[in-house]
Amino acid sequence: MAAAEEGFRPLEEESLVDYIKSTPALLVQLGEQLEGLAIKEVGDGNLNFVYIVTSPGGSFVIKQVQYTGLIIEQSTYCFVVQTCIKLMITSKSHLICLATQALPYIRCIGTSWPMTKERAYFEMLALKEHGRLCPNHVPEVYHFDRPMSLIAMRYLKPPHIILRKGLIAGIEYPLLAQHMSDFMARTLFFTSLLYHSTLEHRKAVAEFCGNVELCRLTEQVVFSDPYKVAQYNHWTSPHLDHDAEAIRDDDILKIEVAGLKSMFCERAQALIHGDLHTGSVMVTNDSTQVIDPEFAFYGPMGFDIGAFLGNLILAFFSQDGHANKDNDREAYKRWILKMLEETWNLFHQKFVALWNENFDGHGEAYLADIFNKPELQLLAQKKYMTDLFHDSIGFGAAKMIRRIVGVAHVEDFESIADGSQRALCERRALDCAKKLLKERRKFESISQVISVIEEISAR
Amino acid sequence: MAAAEEGFRPLEEESLVDYIKSTPALLVQLGEQLEGLAIKEVGDGNLNFVYIVTSPGGSFVIKQVQYTGLIIEQSTYCFVVQTCIKLMITSKSHLICLATQALPYIRCIGTSWPMTKERAYFEMLALKEHGRLCPNHVPEVYHFDRPMSLIAMRYLKPPHIILRKGLIAGIEYPLLAQHMSDFMARTLFFTSLLYHSTLEHRKAVAEFCGNVELCRLTEQVVFSDPYKVAQYNHWTSPHLDHDAEAIRDDDILKIEVAGLKSMFCERAQALIHGDLHTGSVMVTNDSTQVIDPEFAFYGPMGFDIGAFLGNLILAFFSQDGHANKDNDREAYKRWILKMLEETWNLFHQKFVALWNENFDGHGEAYLADIFNKPELQLLAQKKYMTDLFHDSIGFGAAKMIRRIVGVAHVEDFESIADGSQRALCERRALDCAKKLLKERRKFESISQVISVIEEISAR
Ligand SMILES: Nc1ncnc2c1ncn2[C@@H]1O[C@H](COP(=O)(O)OP(=O)(O)O)[C@@H](O)[C@H]1O
Ligand SMILES: Nc1ncnc2c1ncn2[C@@H]1O[C@H](COP(=O)(O)OP(=O)(O)O)[C@@H](O)[C@H]1O
Ligand SMILES: [Mg+2]
Ligand SMILES: [Mg+2]
Ligand SMILES: [Mg+2]
Ligand SMILES: [Mg+2]
Ligand SMILES: [Mg+2]
């Protein structure tokens, strides 16, 4: 058994108390005060346990990977991943959480890939790097225990809630675009070759290559399964049966998605979060915090930007399903579109501003000695940002599609009880995504994307 | 001092004998026969020593990196690299070789990059991988000594000569296109995601990230220096003064080259040789052998294909400078164009054939379940090959430009004694490269590239 697994013990409420007592870094966060200690499991997924730990002296959150350290063969591994995914979609109960303990954090036998490089390690690395680059929007890491695959971080106290839930509830967050554009501009710019020397870059790329298993999960569920018959694909049936089939028969779409998949697998453009949907963002009226970067690696920037924008578009198309006689959600839909527009435009503005501020720096993609005139610098930036925009639209659309006909759906639609109503909303989102993905290179501005959304929404 | 440096001793003829005597793997190659042992240094560069070792019982070649293991600071490093490059271009004498012993194989202080990962290690890895994939066209590795940065490999006996020298001499190699297309199709296909699982791929990518310093040399001399005022740029002067300046002032060209540079730095498409010019190929009438992959890493395939095709085009444009009353070189020019055409077309054919043969394999870029109809498979391949063609033209053109106005030139032109004549040849090559690079996306076949070459040649 590899080193990383030797020290692993899955914790629950009781054993966690002992763990805290014996961990100075955690005691400090509680002001050494253990009287009145309260622990609550809040994990909403089936991949990790999340505990909120509070005492009168302080608080923190503990996130621990679920696994038993079992080493299994490749074929078993595939079966187990499938089963896990199935469980993820069929139930949210705690029992299921326990049942899935032995799941996909298990390396295939027969590779010499370092066994100590588990995903909690990469989540911690990314949280720290994101926190360094954008401290206002990322919880601090207080403690990391590698053998235990355990991270302690700042507790994002109520009224922080998961953004997706806020969007379903119809709540406006006035600073959302401002904050998310900040997070994306800073984390992506400063980990790209616009800021990095190629020496720093390749070193960081190599390190994050170790997070390959989570990349593979994305490759499968985002870029492959929705485009083929796959056991755990599902959709609102029978309403969308034809739509799902049409996706599997759409040659142009499949070619375009394959191009995006190759970009995802090959292009180390920046350190990306890797799972930047609205379920990885916690918000209040004046705070926006990005959590859960366990899929982080060096990949194409557009994958993060697209994840966020694409999930906003999903939220938009789900609104009709949440309308009732008190609230038709029309104003809220306009607000979502405004967020979409502002997020991209502010991102663009801030990213280019960072580029300008650092034009003479050690970033090696565009040397100041070569791009030695303002108009040339402008031309280079225009081309770069246009390509990035198209990538973002493409990845965003791919993320939309997989949430409707793939294995893992979003609460935005799942919480619409009526199947016909849900299917109607989903079909519009699907049609929009297909058009955006296939025609993305034609778009010159986010307002053109919004026109497409409005047009499909008005059908 | 790092482990790799501890055991390093630069060898010369005498100490090499002792080294051979104490190395069983080498003795075996000589049939244990040391009587009549002969050693000859034949390195043509200033980066490595190459010794041919023969005895009546056998033979091999020893290649050893030149370095002293000195650890220096970053600023010194930059100075030293510049100086080394200067020496490379100003002299070929053995004395200079000795003077450059302390040169750029030195890591920057202050990084924790593993010090043991020197370039000889990557050259050995690549030689072995290429040899495994394409044994007919790569010398076997007999022995590798990591602390000594030393590789022993099969001696490519006379009449093997460096292809570049054959091209200058006007010699036709009937199997050249056949062999080179074989080498490129096999080494590139089998190390791409068309054959690799993403698990294998990321693991290999991470390993070769360690060869970052040689990548940085390429980034500087191919993608940066020719487009700015740089100390060691040079060209046939005053004839090409204006042409060199025009390159530094060509905004469109600079934007395009920056795009290629980013692709070089970001895109881990396949294990590429990294230096596949006509000086890295040894030939006879019926043998073609690829040596010297010390720049190998996971990069864009087009960089290798372009290097080879671009250097053939340089050879073509240099022919007028080698014409004399006995041989106007016209037939030879046609033969070079035929090689250009055949190399790409055969590469295309073989690469697609490998893809078809392995369509149901473990390659993860295009899954058989998704690309589930012959016409869809065809469509995917057409798009892939078109993109690869455009990348190859772009990288090939960039490699041509840097050989005319950058730091390191090619013997094809350098051996033309008359400056005016040389400048005439070089200007045509330069004009051709600029056109190819900027308009590459318009080309649909190699015959269209050849038309451009012929047109410029007829001016
Ligand atoms: N720092 C935190 N503060 C408050 N709640 C948190 C924190 N981190 C996670 N949570 C809660 O736990 C849930 C799951 O955490 P997350 O990191 O997204 O785990 P998973 O990778 O399993 O999705 C989140 O949706 C959120 O409700
Ligand atoms: N295996 C070999 N057999 C015969 N000659 C070789 C062999 N390897 C290298 N050489 C000769 O040594 C020269 C330099 O080798 P190369 O590997 O290209 O080193 P460098 O990296 O210094 O360019 C080649 O141009 C060729 O003439
Ligand atoms: Mg979750
Ligand atoms: Mg989460
Ligand atoms: Mg997660
Ligand atoms: Mg060489
Ligand atoms: Mg070399």
Residue whose structure tokens are 């390195």 = B43
Nearest Cα residue to A343 out of A317, A292, A377, A307: A307
pLDDT tier, B118 (very low <50, low <70, confident <90, very high otherwise): confident
For chain B, give the mean pLDDT.
90
- Measured in angstroms, the CA of B217 and the nearest CA of chain A are apart by 11
Residues from chain A that touch B255, judged by Cβ atoms under 8 A, are: 376, 379-380, 383
How far does residue A59's CA lie from ligand 5's centre (Å)? 21
- pLDDT number for residue B99: 26
Nearest Cα residue to B49 out of B63, B33, B70, B39: B63
Q: Which two tokens stand for residue B447?
A: 């015959």
Rounded Cα gap, residues B339 and B328, in angstroms: 19
Query: Measured from the CB, is residue A292 less than 6 Å from ligand 1?
Result: yes
Of all atoms in ligand 1, which is nearest to the CA of residue A280? Answer: 18
For residue A304, what are the CA distances in angstroms to A53, A235, A382, B290? 30, 25, 20, 41
* More confident of the two residues A91 and A452: A452
User: Is the pLDDT score of B108 beyond 70?
Assistant: no
pLDDT tier, A45 (very low <50, low <70, confident <90, very high otherwise): low
User: Is the pLDDT score of B115 beyond 50?
Assistant: no
User: Is the pLDDT score of A57 beyond 80?
Assistant: yes
Tell me which residue in B202, B266, B372 faces A209 most closely, judged by beta carbons. B202
- pLDDT number for residue A82: 47
CB B235 within 8 A of CB B404: yes
Residues from chain A that touch B364, judged by Cβ atoms under 8 A, are: 219, 265
User: Whole-angstrom distance between the N-terminal and C-terminal Cα of chain A?
Assistant: 58
* More confident of the two residues A78 and A441: A441
How far does residue B269's CA lie from ligand 5's centre (Å)? 28
For ligand 2, atom 5, the nearest C-alpha belongs to B156
Tell me which residue in A113, A373, A375 faces B203 most closely, judged by beta carbons. A113
DSSP reduced 3-state for A362: coil
ipTM of this model?
Answer: 0.92
Of all atoms in ligand 2, which is nearest to the CA of residue B154? Answer: 1
Q: Which residue intervals of A157-248 are DSSP H helices?
A: 163-169, 176-189, 198-208, 212-218, 241-248
Least confident of A7-21, A121-135, B58-72, B101-115: B101-115
Residues from chain B that touch A215, judged by Cβ atoms under 8 A, are: 198, 202
Name A278's Cβ contacts closer than 8 Å, sequence gap at least 6.
Answer: A162, A163, A164, A167, A308, A311, A312, A315
CB A114 within 8 A of CB A160: no
| Residue among A41, A48, A62, A63 to mutate when testing ligand 1 (max atoms within 8 A of CB) | A63
pLDDT tier, A67 (very low <50, low <70, confident <90, very high otherwise): low
For ligand 1, atom 12, the nearest C-alpha belongs to A43
Rounded Cα gap, residues B88 and B47, in angstroms: 9
pLDDT tier, A91 (very low <50, low <70, confident <90, very high otherwise): very low
- pLDDT number for residue B83: 47
Q: Cis ω on the peptide bond leading into residue A159 (within 30° of 0)?
A: yes
Query: Measured from the CB, is residue B45 less than 6 Å from ligand 2?
Result: yes
User: Is the pLDDT score of A160 beyond 50?
Assistant: yes
* Percentage of residues in chain B having pLDDT higher than 90: 84
Tell me the average pLDDT across B172-184.
98
How far does residue A85's CA lie from ligand 1's centre (Å)? 19
Nearest CA in chain A to B197: A216
| Residue among A292, A295, A410, A411 to mutate when testing ligand 1 (max atoms within 8 A of CB) | A292
Instruction: Provide the CA A405 distance to its chain's centre, in angstroms.
Output: 18
Tell me which residue in A199, A254, A269 faces B266 most closely, judged by beta carbons. A269
Rounded Cα gap, residues B186 and A12, in angstroms: 53
Residue whose structure tokens are 């054993």 = A15
CB B406 within 8 A of CB B225: yes
| Phi/psi-derived region of residue A274, left when phi > 0, alpha when psi is between -120 and 50, beta in every other case | left
Nearest CA in chain B to A250: B376
Predicted confidence (pLDDT) per residue in A326-346, tens digit: 999 999 999 999 999 999 999
Query: Measured from the CB, is residue B42 less than 6 Å from ligand 2?
Result: yes
pLDDT tier, A93 (very low <50, low <70, confident <90, very high otherwise): very low
Query: Measured from the CB, is residue B158 less than 6 Å from ligand 2?
Result: no
For ligand 2, atom 4, the nearest C-alpha belongs to B156
How far does residue A346's CA lie from ligand 4's centre (Å)? 25
* More confident of the two residues B71 and A350: A350
Residues from chain A that touch B367, judged by Cβ atoms under 8 A, are: 224, 228
pLDDT tier, B71 (very low <50, low <70, confident <90, very high otherwise): very low
Q: What number of residues does chain B have?
A: 459
Q: Which two tokens stand for residue B394?
A: 């772009």
Dihedral of alpha carbons A54, A142, A63, A189, sign:
positive
Nearest CA in chain B to A227: B370
Rounded Cα gap, residues B93 and B96, in angstroms: 5
For residue A108, what are the CA distances in angstroms to A70, A80, A230, A296? 10, 12, 22, 20
DSSP β-bridge partners for residue A152: A62, A143
Tell me the average pLDDT across B88-94.
35
Beta strands in B135-205 (DSSP E): 141-145, 150-153, 161-162
Best probe of the A interface among B266, B375, B378, B438, by most A CBs < 10 A, is B266
Query: Measured from the CB, is residue A61 less than 6 Å from ligand 1?
Result: yes
User: Is the pLDDT score of A80 beyond 70?
Assistant: no
Predicted confidence (pLDDT) per residue in B43-70, tens digit: 876 678 999 999 999 999 999 987 644 4
- Whole-prediction pTM value? 0.92
Q: Which two tokens stand for residue B264?
A: 């070089």
pLDDT tier, A63 (very low <50, low <70, confident <90, very high otherwise): very high
- pLDDT number for residue B292: 97
- Measured in angstroms, the CA of A110 and the nearest CA of chain B are apart by 11
| Residue B220, amino acid | Q
- pLDDT number for residue B303: 99
Predicted confidence (pLDDT) per residue in B207-218, tens digit: 999 999 999 999
Beta strands in B115-254 (DSSP E): 141-145, 150-153, 161-162
How far does residue B347's CA lie from ligand 6's centre (Å)? 23
* More confident of the two residues A22 and B48: A22
Predicted confidence (pLDDT) per residue in B408-446, tens digit: 999 999 999 999 999 999 999 999 999 999 999 999 999
How far does residue B155's CA lie from ligand 3's centre (Å)? 59
Residues from chain A that touch B207, judged by Cβ atoms under 8 A, are: 206
What b/e sequence results for A179-217 when a residue is b if at least 16 CB atoms lie within 10 Å of its CB, and e otherwise? bbbbbbbbbbbbbbbbbbbbbbbbbbbbbbbbbbbbbbb
pLDDT tier, B144 (very low <50, low <70, confident <90, very high otherwise): very high
* Percentage of residues in chain B having pLDDT higher than 70: 87
For residue A282, what are the CA distances in angstroms to A302, A415, A427? 21, 19, 28
Nearest CA in chain B to A271: B266
* More confident of the two residues A44 and A430: A430
Q: How many CB pairs under 8 A join A and B?
A: 131
Predicted confidence (pLDDT) per residue in A393-443, tens digit: 999 999 999 999 999 999 999 999 999 999 999 999 999 999 999 999 999
Check CB contact under 8 Å for A229 and B369. yes
For A195, half-sphere exposure in the C-beta direction (CA atoms, 13 angstrom radius) is 20
User: Is the pLDDT score of B398 beyond 90?
Assistant: yes
How far does residue A152's CA lie from ligand 1's centre (Å)? 11
| Residue among B151, B292, B311, B411 to mutate when testing ligand 2 (max atoms within 8 A of CB) | B292
Least confident of A276-285, B28-37, B72-81: B72-81
Best probe of the A interface among B367, B386, B402, by most A CBs < 10 A, is B367
Predicted confidence (pLDDT) per residue in B4-46, tens digit: 457 888 899 999 999 999 999 999 999 999 999 999 999 876 6
User: Is the pLDDT score of A79 beyond 50?
Assistant: no
Tell me the average pLDDT across B378-396.
98
Longest dimension (CA), chain A: 65
Residue whose structure tokens are 């025609």 = A439
| Residue among B41, B63, B153 to mutate when testing ligand 2 (max atoms within 8 A of CB) | B63
For ligand 2, atom 14, the nearest C-alpha belongs to B43
Q: Which two tokens stand for residue A200?
A: 């720093």
pLDDT tier, A110 (very low <50, low <70, confident <90, very high otherwise): very low
DSSP states of A30-98: TTT--TT-EEEE---SSSEEEEEEEETTEEEEEEEE------B-HHHHHHHHHHHHHHHHH---HHHHH
Tell me which residue in A206, A251, A370 faces B224 most closely, judged by beta carbons. A370
* More confident of the two residues A6 and A212: A212
- Measured in angstroms, the CA of B267 and the nearest CA of chain A are apart by 4
Tell me which residue in B111, B364, B370 faces A254 most closely, judged by beta carbons. B370
Instruction: Provide the CA A279 distance to its chain's centre, in angstroms.
Output: 8
Rounded Cα gap, residues A168 and B310, in angstroms: 57
User: Is the pLDDT score of A72 beyond 80?
Assistant: no
Tell me the average pLDDT across B115-138.
88
How far does residue B3's CA lie from ligand 7's centre (Å)? 24
Residues from chain A that touch B226, judged by Cβ atoms under 8 A, are: none
- pLDDT number for residue B67: 63
How far does residue A149's CA lie from ligand 2's centre (Å)? 49
For ligand 2, atom 13, the nearest C-alpha belongs to B43
For chain A, give the mean pLDDT.
89
CB A29 within 8 A of CB A54: no
